[in-house]
Amino acid sequence: MMGGKQTSDLPPGFRFHPTDEELIMYYLRNQATSMPCPVSIIPEVDIYKFDPWELPEKAEFGEKEWYFFTPRDRKYPNGVRPNRAAVSGYWKATGTDKAIYSGSKYVGVKKALVFYKGRPPKGIKTDWIMHEYRLSESRSLPARQNGSMRLDDWVLCRIYKKKNLGKANSNTGMMMMMKTEVEETNPEIASCSEGGPQVQGMKLPRACSLTHLLEMDCFGSISQLLGDNNNNPATFDNQNPTLMTNNNGIVPFGLGEVVPHQYTQNSIFNQPIFVNPAFQFQ
C-alpha cells in the first residue's frame, strides 16, 4: 500500500529508486534553485514537526521508503548545528558523513540518522532511519540576518523503517539446522547422547570437545576412551621411552617417532600417535 497521496500522472509500473547522485543533481539542486524536478513526487514537509511513523501519510509516493524536502533550523541562534528535536523524540546522527560526487565533482553530503524516543541522553532507540542529503555549498552560505533560525532552506530526506524481526529467529534456526546435520551425519553420537546403547566403531564429529565426550555415558572412563585398561597397560620408561607395553612384550619407539597404525587398534580414535621429543617424562 502506498503511503499518503496518489500521483495519478505516473505511468503504470513506475518505481522510484534514485541513486545518491541523482537525488542531489536532479532533485535537491532543482528544489534549491526553484527549478522543476523530473517528476513531482517529493513533497515539502517540515519533518521535525512530526514523528517518523506519521510521515508515510504525508508522502506522495512510496511503499517502504518515503522522500521529503524539508527545511532545517539552527539549534542555537549563532551556531551552525541543526535542531534535531521532533514531537516525541529526536534524530541522532550515526556513522560518518558520505561525500557525494558527480563524476569528479563534489556535489553533496549524505548523513545517516536514527530516531530516539524521549529526550537525550536517555532516549530509546527505534528502527526508524533517515538519510539526509544536503548540497555541498549549503554550509558556505553567509549567516542569515534579523535573528533568523533557518540553517538550510531545503535538504532532502529519505525515511524508512529498518526490519529486525528475523534476526533472532534466524539464529535459532541455524542452531537447529546444525544439530539436525550432526544427527544425520553421525546417528551413533545422537543415540549415545540420548542414553542409547554403546555402538562399536562410531565416528566422532570433527568438532567435539573432550568434555563433551566424557559426558556421554557410552564412552565410560578416560582410560577406556584412550584404549588403556588394566589388562593391557601402557607404560613409559625414563631411560628408554617406550609405548604400548602389553602381555606379548614391549614395543619400543624412540622420541619423535610415530606409532604405527596397527599398535593403536584398541583406541577408539584409531589414529597414529606422535611421541613429542620435547616432552620430559617423569
* Residue 169 included in any domain: no
Higher pLDDT, 209 or 85: 85
CB under 8 Å to 143, separation ≥6 — which residues? none
Q: Please write the tens of the pLDDT for every residue from 253-262.
A: 455 555 554 5
Do 152 and 261 lie in one domain? The reply is no
Cis status, amide bond into 277, omega within 30 of 0: no
Q: Which of 220, 241, 265 is the C-terminal boundary of a domain?
A: 220
Residue 19: pLDDT over 90 = yes
CATH number at residue 120: 2.170.150.80
How far is it, in rounded angstroms, from Cα 57 to Cα 158? 14
Q: Please write the tens of the pLDDT for every residue from 44-68.
A: 999 999 999 999 999 988 889 999 9
Residue 10: pLDDT over 60 = yes
Give the mean model confidence (pLDDT) for residues 85-103: 96
* Residue 14 included in any domain: no
Do 90 and 141 lie in one domain? The reply is yes
Do 204 and 139 lie in one domain? The reply is no
- Per-residue pLDDT, 11: 82
Q: Please write the tens of the pLDDT for every residue from 127-178.
A: 999 999 999 986 545 555 566 888 888 999 999 999 876 555 556 666 666 6
- Domain extent at residue 214: 189-220
**Using 50, 70 and 90 to split pLDDT, how confident is the model at 13?**
confident
Residue 33: pLDDT over 80 = yes
Do 125 and 213 lie in one domain? The reply is no
Do 76 and 97 lie in one domain? The reply is yes
Do 258 and 208 lie in one domain? The reply is no
In terms of DSSP H, where are the helices of 79-197? 166-185, 187-193
How far is it, in rounded angstroms, from Cα 116 to Cα 114? 7
Do 209 and 252 lie in one domain? The reply is no
Number of structural domains (the chain) is: 3
Bridge partners of 124?
A: 117
Do 51 and 116 lie in one domain? The reply is yes
Q: Which of 164, 181, 200 is the C-terminal boundary of a domain?
A: 164
* Residue 238 included in any domain: yes
Provide the whole-model pTM.
Answer: 0.57
Do 230 and 280 lie in one domain? The reply is yes
Residue 2: pLDDT over 80 = no
Give the mean model confidence (pLDDT) for residues 92-113: 96
Do 82 and 124 lie in one domain? The reply is yes
Do 233 and 273 lie in one domain? The reply is yes
Do 205 and 231 lie in one domain? The reply is no
Q: Please write the tens of the pLDDT for every residue from 201-250.
A: 555 555 656 666 556 554 455 555 455 544 544 444 444 444 445 555 55
**Using 50, 70 and 90 to split pLDDT, how confident is the model at 41?**
very high
* Residue 182 included in any domain: no
What is the pLDDT of the chain when averaged over all its residues?
74
* Residue 5 included in any domain: no
* Residue 265 included in any domain: yes
* Residue 262 included in any domain: yes
Q: What angle do CA 75, 91, 40 make, to 5 degrees?
A: 95
How far is it, in rounded angstroms, from Cα 136 to Cα 153? 14
- Per-residue pLDDT, 80: 87
Higher pLDDT, 34 or 218: 34
* Residue 226 included in any domain: yes
